[in-house]
Chains A and B, each alone.
Chain A
Amino acid sequence: ETGVTQTPRHLVMGMTNKKSLKCEQHLGHNAMYWYKQSAKKPLELMFVYSLEERVENNSVPSRFSPECPNSSHLFLHLHTLQPEDSALYLCASSPGQGVEAFFGQGTRLTVV
């Protein structure tokens, strides 16, 4: 257990569905992240939130919409996804700059 909890662990959704991924940490960390891990590709940073403000958005399609209501919670809202969006979505948190990030167990997303 790293202290970062993601729900659900597995999700299957149709291309017209709307769903949300949830991430929670009670480590007192100031920064939270969403990463996408596709098969045979490096982890891709999607979003960074620092003190509840988004500080980086790596040209992620608008069908992915993050939300950080407070420093302990991070959501990734999904709508009208494509099959190529099927991947493992990992949430992480860190105390700030220059230190390691702690990851959740991920949500395995399948878009059908």
Chain B
Amino acid sequence: AQKITQTQPGMFVQEKEAVTLDCTYDTSDPSYGLFWYKQPSSGEMIFLIYQGSYDQQNATEGRYSLNFQKARKSANLVISASQLGDSAMYFCAMREANSGGGADGLTFGKGTHLIIQP
């Protein structure tokens, strides 16, 4: 079973509109972290926002916010007032606390290709 599911392979959005990118996850670990990354065409992965499983409030970073619904195992990324420069691939990822070892890799979803149209 997939640990991270992103159901939107691609999205077209008008500039200045808000965007919601879906992410659901699967884990039995009570302690985990959820991440969103942006990957522009240049290839590098840019960290956007982090949500810990025990955080009471939804994470926010500038125009980015994470709609964390723990019971539904959902961690959607919301981008407010989208800009042309937001066009990129967006990846949801998870790190489980008990996946073994002192430093654990992230498990990524397949990504959503977001295109902002003028």
The answer on a CB contact under 8 Å between B95 and A42 is no
Tell me, yes or no, whether A48 is within 8 Å of chain B by CB: yes
The answer on a CB contact under 8 Å between A103 and B4 is no
Q: Considering the chains assembled together, what is the distance between the CA atoms of A105 and B42 in angstroms?
A: 7
Chain A, Cβ-Cβ closest to B52: A98
Looking at B52, B103, B109, B111, the one whose CB has the most chain A CB atoms below 10 A away is B103
Tell me, yes or no, whether A94 is within 8 Å of chain B by CB: yes
Looking at B37, B42, B101, B109, the one whose CB has the most chain A CB atoms below 10 A away is B101
Interface string of A29-57 (1 = CB under 8 A from B): 01101010000111101001111000110
Tell me, yes or no, whether A2 is within 8 Å of chain B by CB: yes
The answer on a CB contact under 8 Å between A98 and B97 is yes
The answer on a CB contact under 8 Å between A42 and B47 is no
In-complex Cβ contact of A48 among B33, B103, B107, B110 (8 A):
B103
Q: Considering the chains assembled together, what is the distance between the CA atoms of A96 and B45 in angstroms?
A: 18
The answer on a CB contact under 8 Å between A48 and B104 is yes
The answer on a CB contact under 8 Å between B102 and A50 is yes
Residues of A within 8 A of B100 (CB): 55-56
Chain A residue total in the interface (Cβ 8 A): 32
CB distance from B81 to the nearest CB of A (A): 24
Chain A, Cβ-Cβ closest to B95: A98
Tell me, yes or no, whether B62 is within 8 Å of chain A by CB: no
Residues of A within 8 A of B91 (CB): 42-43
CB distance from A17 to the nearest CB of B (A): 22
B residues in contact (CB < 8 Å) with A: 4, 33, 35, 37, 42-47, 50, 52, 91, 93, 95, 97, 100-111
Apart from the given pairs A41-B110, A42-B91, A48-B105, 18 other A-B contacts in the complex at a CB distance below 8 Å: A2-B47, A30-B103, A35-B105, A42-B109, A43-B91, A43-B106, A48-B103, A50-B102, A56-B104, A94-B103, A96-B102, A97-B95, A97-B103, A98-B95, A103-B37, A105-B42, A105-B43, A108-B43
23 interchain pairs (CB within 8 A)?
A2-B44, A33-B105, A35-B105, A42-B4, A42-B107, A42-B111, A43-B91, A43-B108, A45-B107, A50-B103, A55-B100, A56-B105, A90-B44, A90-B45, A96-B102, A98-B95, A99-B33, A100-B35, A100-B47, A101-B47, A102-B47, A103-B37, A104-B44
